[in-house]
Amino acid sequence: MQRVSTRVASQDANPAAPDRASDPGRGDGLVFDARDVGVAFGSGAAARRILRGVTFDVRDHEFVSIMGRSGTGKTTLLKVLGGLRDATPGSVVRANGAPVDGPPEGVIFVFQDYAASLLPWRTIERNVSLGLEGRLERPELEQRVTEALDMVGLADRRRDYPWELSGGMQQRVQLARSLAMRASVLLMDEPFGSLDAMTKATLQDELQQVHGDTGATVVFVTHDIDEAIYLSDRILILDGDPATIARSIPVDLPRPRDQLATKELPDFLALRRTVYEAIVGDA
């Protein structure tokens, strides 16, 4: 399997490493702290509870995947963490120690629908610079964009438009945007769901590399069991109606992981069975 390690700088040299000293509230090592989180749509008698009593935390630099059947509330939960949707009264959601009441600083949402999140009239480099314009002087902005495009292997496509790129490349532009903004937390909703197997594996390895090198914390939603095990430190299973966290499955596989060798490990195969049974039941 193709590896991309040469494209990403080491920790010390990595310009995209988050400035942890400026991140407040990291004393307890928790990036997210969710207690008794509920979500309901509609109000009164027509209200429909989607999530109930969801309690978990995510540690600094942890890679946590959320899995569960379609419609259980994974996207909804990610939106609550990202401050894009309100939870019911009584829910407690904290990011870096502070209550979430809007998109928290340093947190980037990567949506599945990458085509809709790129602006077709802007070049790749101007899509990557989108969140930084007006916040940085031009030379620093250009340097950040160049470094981010280098990391995802798209430096030579910077003057192309999104519609001139393949789906996998467009997804990489989204990743580059998060890197340029020096996101310390990535919330990713099925980011590789619609890609072919080869592109998916390449992007999984890029994400693994970025996670290792930048120290970012990742909360990742996927329907792909192998992908969740391959990337994660822990897998949370949402189940029930309303849904809650039915299982938290640690993934203690050595890192860095390899598309072939890791997936042949007996522990990988055992985890695949555990996660499968946790999602679909063993009946």
Ligand X SMILES: Nc1ncnc2c1ncn2[C@@H]1O[C@H](COP(=O)(O)OP(=O)(O)OP(=O)(O)O)[C@@H](O)[C@H]1O
Site residues for ligand X per CB under 6 A: 41, 50, 68, 70-76
Identity of the residue numbered 272: R
70 binding partner (options Mg ion, ligand X, none; Cβ < 5 to 8 Å by kind): ligand X
Give the residue among 121, 226, 216, 137 at the shortest CA–CA distance from 175.
216
Closer CB to ligand X, 2 or 70, in the complex: 70
24 neighbors 228 (Cβ within 8 angstroms): no
Number of residues that bind Mg ion (CB under 5 A): 1
Which helix (H) or strand (E) segment is 140 a member of? helix 138-151
Positive/negative CA dihedral, 43, 34, 78, 51: negative
| From the list ligand X, Mg ion, none, partner contacted by residue 6 (C-beta under 5 to 8 A by kind) | none
C-alpha 153: how far from its chain's center? 19
Closest-approach residue to Mg ion (CB) = 75
76 binds, among ligand X, Mg ion, none (CB under 5 to 8 A by kind): ligand X
What is the sign of the dihedral through the CA atoms of 96, 181, 83 and 61?
negative
Give 71 or 256: the residue with its C-beta nearer to ligand X. 71
The residue range among 8-16, 73-81, 126-134, 228-236 that interacts with Mg ion, by the rule CB under 5 A, is: 73-81
Going 47 to 52 to 53 to 56, the CA torsion angle's sign is negative
Which of 161, 74, 69 is closest to 124 using CA atoms? 161
For residue 276, the partner it binds in ligand X, Mg ion, none, with Cβ less than 5 to 8 A by kind, is none
Nearer of residues 67 and 185 to Mg ion, judged by Cβ: 67
Closer CB to ligand X, residue 139 or residue 281? Answer: 281
From the list ligand X, Mg ion, none, which binds 82 (C-beta under 5 to 8 Å, kind-based)? none
- d(CA 82, CA 76) in angstroms, rounded, equals 10
Q: How far is the CB of 72 from Mg ion (least distance, A)?
A: 9
Q: C-beta of 37: minimal distance to ligand X in Å?
A: 13
**Smallest gap, in angstroms, from Cβ of residue 117 to Mg ion?**
15
Cis peptide before 256 (omega within 30 of 0): yes
Nearer to Mg ion, 75 or 259 (CB): 75
**Which of 26, 60, 61, 75 contacts Mg ion by CB under 5 A?**
75
Query: What tokens appear for 67 in the block?
Result: 């899995």
Only one of the segments 1-9, 15-23, 70-78, 196-204 lies at the binding site for Mg ion (rule: CB under 5 A); that segment is 70-78
**Burial annotation 31-49 (CB, 10 A radius, 16+ → b, else e):** bbbbeebbbbeeeeeeeee
The verdict on 194 binding Mg ion (CB under 5 A) reads: no
Residue ranges that bind Mg ion, judged by CB under 5 A:
75
